[in-house]
Chains A and B, each alone.
Chain A
Amino acid sequence: MNVLKDFPMLNRDLIYFDNGATTFKPQCVIDAITDYYSNYTANAHRGDYDISLQVDVAYEATRDKIQEFINAKHREEIVFTSGTTDSLNMIVNGFFEHILDPGDEVIISDSEHASNVLPWFRLANKKGIVIKYVSLDDNFHVTVDAIKRVITPKTKVISLAEITNVVGDVRPIKDICEFAHKNNIFVVCDGAQSVPHKKCDVQDSDVDFLTFSAHKMCGPTGVGVLYGKIELLENLDPVKMGGGMNESFDNEKAIFLKELPMRLEAGTPNIAGVIGFGAAIDYLNNIGMDNILVKETNLKKYLVEKLSTLSHVDIINEECDSGIVAFNIDGIFPQDVAIYLNKYNVCVRAGNHCAKILKKAVGVKNTVRVSLYFYNNKDEIDSFVELLKDRDKIMKEMI
């Protein structure tokens, strides 16, 4: 897999290990965006002239590509949003707010990202729903058994990331859905860290809602997807009202909205972003999602093997299958490690990674996080581990 030539950012003197935050963009994505801005800028779904039609075709083509990419049954099930955060807020505020009653229970976990926690917290304060936490096992995994232990007849929703951004554990979403649906429980899946890294099939997993962001999968920032089963999306109230989503309106009693998915895409969408997203999907398909998963799994194994030889490195999540490695260096604050690495043009993230309630489960508040993508390689890992070999050197050079 020789992809270095495809990414302008990979031809700089950088080791980029912060792919959980965002990913680099291949030239074809940049070109698709530039092409829209240079050659056929127009609004979507509006004009009666050629370039506007051309925009429609390109914008809607991305919807078809996404439908195929996650194997959705209907193209109307793909709604473009500004990203995972936007999608999750729409699901909670536009759907569940209207169907949950006080006392109804929603299950999340301690390792969820803030965007799969705070919308639920707000709903708890607003409507009196109850948030419950599935317990994590010793390797921070969520099992179906653990879910069985926490559900009650009041449980209405299970909302989990398929892969968490801190410890990178992979959740058995298909098994969770199978169990949940037998008990009339909805499953919301935050796919921000999984859809970019492994094959996704919403019909096979039978998940009710799925959310993900383009920029974590070689696409542009500011675009994401809300997938929902069509019969659920039909009942999702638009959180945003405005242009592009209404059929007609005369007065407050006579508002007619468009069909799905337009109804949920108020205002001028991020057209350039959606077009760029389409190019990113083409690019990933070309490499093959199965190849991407294999490459990342191998890289992660290699990194863990190498890091394990350093006695001052404490790996938090050795047992997790994704390309995320969280660790700490004995007696050195994670941010200082990140600052030291930055001096050698190595980009990693230090902190709590937006999972502020994780501490109670893992016992560590902050970590250094490496998050790999398919364009990383073993040479980079070798250089990285070499930089961490000498603890005294880190101490000396971190300030």
Chain B
Amino acid sequence: MDENLKREVILDNYTNPSNRMRVEDEKYIYVNSNNSSCIDNIDLWVLIEDGFIKDLKFDGEACAISTSSTSIMTKELVGKSTKEAREFIENFYNMIEEREYDKETLNEALVYDTIYKQANRKTCATLPYKGVLDAIEKYEHGTH
């Protein structure tokens, strides 16, 4: 993807993020995701029913990379089964960590394919995914 287009997608998702709103509904699993190395702090509300992610909302204070990555993630993961979500996330991590990965399935999330060049921003891009994994685990362990 062209660098200018990547920047545009990131900025668009930063300034006008999708699914940014707080949720007050007990059906949603709430998780907070933050980095000890920086000041990003994101709240996530995940609705999982019958093994499928039905809805995803977020709010918080975070940098352009974290915020845009969260916005993109919410669009990509809704509608996926928890198994499919895990696969997507694993593939995303593979890209971030410069391992082999499948380009075809990441869609907009591909904009972070060169983020490894800024090592300190890798944790920003993966921050929301860490939160969703926590939420899936809560769901699977029935601790929600």
Residues of A in contact with B (beta carbons under 8 Å apart): 331-336, 339, 350-352, 365-366, 395-396, 398-399
Contacts and interface: CB of A to CB of B under 8 A. Distances in A.
Contact of B64 (A336, A351, A352, A365): A336
B10 A335 contact: no
B121 interface: yes
Given A350-B39, A351-B39, A333 B61 contact: yes
Nearest to A340: B64
Contacts of A395: 11
B39 A335 contact: yes
Contacts of A398: 64
13 contacts: A333-B62, A333-B67, A335-B38, A335-B63, A336-B63, A336-B64, A339-B63, A339-B118, A339-B121, A350-B39, A351-B38, A396-B11, A399-B64
A395 B10 CA distance: 11
Given A395-B11, A399-B11, A366 B65 contact: no
A366 B64 contact: no
B36 to A, nearest CB: 12
A399 B10 CA distance: 8
Contacts of A339: 63, 118, 120-121
Contacts of A332: 64
A333 B7 CA distance: 16
**Those 9 A-B pairs whose CB atoms lie nearest each other, nearest first:** A351-B39, A335-B63, A333-B63, A336-B64, A336-B63, A399-B10, A366-B39, A399-B64, A335-B39
Interface string B3-35: 000010011000100000000000000000000
Given A339-B121, A350-B39, A396 B7 contact: yes
A70 B64 CA distance: 45
Contacts of B59: none
A366 B61 CA distance: 9
Contact of A331 (B15, B38, B61): B15
Given A336-B63, A350-B39, 18 more contacts: A332-B64, A333-B64, A333-B67, A335-B38, A335-B39, A335-B40, A335-B63, A336-B64, A339-B63, A339-B120, A339-B121, A351-B38, A351-B39, A396-B7, A399-B7, A399-B11, A399-B64, A399-B65
Nearest to B62: A333
A334 B67 CA distance: 13
A241 B3 CA distance: 59
Contacts of B63: 333, 335-336, 339
A351 B37 CA distance: 11
Interface in B93-143: 118, 120-121
A331 B11 CA distance: 12
Nearest to A398: B64
Contacts of A396: 7, 11
Contacts of B15: 331
A350 to B, nearest CB: 7
Contacts of A336: 63-64
Most buried by B among A332, A350, A352, A399: A399
B96 to A, nearest CB: 15
A309 to B, nearest CB: 25
Interface string B47-79: 000000000000001111101000000000000
A336 B15 CA distance: 13
A398 B38 CA distance: 16
Contacts of B120: 339
A240 to B, nearest CB: 27
Contacts of B121: 339
A366 B7 CA distance: 24
Contacts of B65: 399
Given A350-B39, A351-B39, A352-B39, A365 B7 contact: no
Contacts of B39: 334-335, 350-352, 366
Nearest to B124: A335
Contacts of B67: 333
B109 to A, nearest CB: 15
Contacts of A335: 38-40, 63
Most buried by B among A352, A365, A398: A398
A383 B11 CA distance: 26
A339 B64 CA distance: 11
A399 B115 CA distance: 9
A333 B17 CA distance: 14
A71 B59 CA distance: 52
Contacts of B40: 335
B75 to A, nearest CB: 19
